Chain A
Amino acid sequence: MNKQKQITLQTRIAERYARIVDNKDEFSRSINQPLKQSFRINSLKGDTEKILESLRKYDNSISPTNWYENGFTTNLDNLGSSIEHFSGQIYIQELTSMMPALSIADVNESKRIIDCCAAPGSKTTQLAEMMKNKGEIIANDNKHSRLKALRGNLDRLGIVNTTVTLRDFRSFPNTEADIYLVDAPCSSEGTIRKKNTIKRNLKEKDYERFSKIQKGILNRACEMAERGDQIVYSTCTFAPEENEHVVNSILEEHSVKLNNINIKNLKMGKGIKNWKDEKFDSEIEKCRRVWPHHNDTDGFFIARIEKC
């Protein structure tokens, strides 16, 4: 019964996006394949090579990615019960989830970053590591129940440069920052290879509901940002209603521009120009779509916005 439901869901997704994907057969095949577990090494808790050496004592299936030196995959599906995970030397994280932090051009120790929807802290802890535990991060989430996981991960990974806040970001008080990361709540269709928790019978109105929330959060980040500040918007869904449409509305309402995104050795597709009856600004092509069949990952969407 479950298998039947899964096939239906995957077929629905394959059909819905057949028109916008570059290779619909490959796309359809890839979303039916299980995804390997992936993890990130936390160099704040030790030397990367030593941690890898320790992991390889019991796991010889570890493979590096060719686009991020700290990103790895493994055939083991339970690295969460490893001593390296316990001691915060690794963080189990989807490969696509590692991409937004890498898309920011100049993450360094002097920056202040606001992670607007931070829990459970995958991207916050990655940014903290990239900043060598220096600079300033504000990790915000609007659900108290999710802060426990966020706080737990920050503690386990030894993060000291982060302040945790509990607010709906749409009503977050004005706060200066250099970079705003909006990894917005979404329909999560892109995680179909990994999770069976995504809603099976998404309706058109569900996309609209998420889109409204996403616009609200991204709009607030754009309001707060000052000239030159960066806003990175990401989702783990294929739905243009939650991706290009949201970014397009921000282009119409704010004095912002889109910047190119380049992650070396990572294959990414362009943002689409139109969807159904809606035609988007030509700049939208600077957004990036990560299709599952391109790099053997989940599906993902990233836009890098700069306040003008």
Chain B
Amino acid sequence: MLVLLKKEKKEMLIEYCVERFGISKVIFENYQLYEGSKNKIYLIKELLELRFIPESSGLCIFRFDKTPKPTTNFLQLFSADISKNVLDIGEKDLINYCKGNDLQVHSGSNKIEPGFIAIRYNNSIVGCAHWNKITVRNQLPKSRRCKINYY
């Protein structure tokens, strides 16, 4: 069951997107944010009122535990709007990342702040990772991990 995200939490989330990834507040104006089970936040065009409970609505964009954790789907969808805390990777790292492996410390890692980061290949965001100044930890969900042959 989804409930409309409380105003304070919504503002906190949007502020996080602005501060962390440089995403403009404007992109959220056309959507509604709802909270579901397991602290998951959903981006929805409009929540439909049906005569029964649907299986799912919209796109899960965050998990809100102690801090917000962006989903790979969210970062991919707003790829063009993300300008901060982005780690550009090459072909070898791309294959590793898509398999679900953590990445070796990268030469571009001095431009990113500790926390959740966006992984970019060939100008497109491919997913989410966590940087703790030592390791780039893979945050790709198991269901999305795969072997990439063409890139």
Give chain A's interface residues, CB within 8 Å of chain B: 44-46, 54, 58-59, 76, 78-79, 81-84, 86-89, 133-136, 138, 147, 151-152, 154-156, 158-167, 173-175
In Å, the complex CA distance between A161 and B58 comes to: 6
Q: A82-B150, A83-B151 are in contact. Are A164 and B54 (CB under 8 A)?
A: yes
In Å, the complex CA distance between A165 and B57 comes to: 9
A147 contact set on B, CB distance < 8 A:
55
A161 lies within 8 A of B45 (CB): yes
B43 lies within 8 A of A160 (CB): yes
A165 lies within 8 A of B55 (CB): yes
B45 contact set on A, CB distance < 8 A:
133-136, 160-161
Leading 7 A-B pairs by shortest Cβ distance: A158-B77, A82-B150, A173-B51, A81-B149, A161-B45, A83-B151, A164-B55
B146 lies within 8 A of A81 (CB): yes
B150 lies within 8 A of A81 (CB): yes
B148 lies within 8 A of A82 (CB): yes
| Closest Cβ neighbor of B126 among chain A residues | A87
| Closest Cβ neighbor of B53 among chain A residues | A165
Q: Is B107's CB within 8 Å of the partner chain A?
A: no
- B window 25-46: CB within 8 A of A: 31, 43-46
Q: Is B9's CB within 8 Å of the partner chain A?
A: no
Tell me which of B43, B148, B150 has the highest count of chain A C-beta atoms within 10 A of its own C-beta.
Answer: B150
A81 contact set on B, CB distance < 8 A:
146-150
Q: Is B6's CB within 8 Å of the partner chain A?
A: no
Tell me which of A88, A160, A165 has the highest count of chain B C-beta atoms within 10 A of its own C-beta.
Answer: A160
A78 lies within 8 A of B77 (CB): no
In Å, the complex CA distance between A20 and B73 comes to: 47
B57 contact set on A, CB distance < 8 A:
162-164
A88 contact set on B, CB distance < 8 A:
76
Tell me which of B31, B52, B94 has the highest count of chain A C-beta atoms within 10 A of its own C-beta.
Answer: B52
In Å, the complex CA distance between A154 and B45 comes to: 14
Chain A to chain B contacts (Cβ below 8 Å), 11 pairs: A81-B147, A82-B148, A83-B94, A83-B98, A87-B125, A138-B48, A147-B55, A160-B31, A160-B77, A161-B45, A163-B50
| Closest Cβ neighbor of B60 among chain A residues | A155
In Å, the complex CA distance between A165 and B52 comes to: 9
B50 lies within 8 A of A173 (CB): yes
Of B44, B56, B76, B149, which one neighbours A158 at CB under 8 angstroms? B76
A175 contact set on B, CB distance < 8 A:
50-51
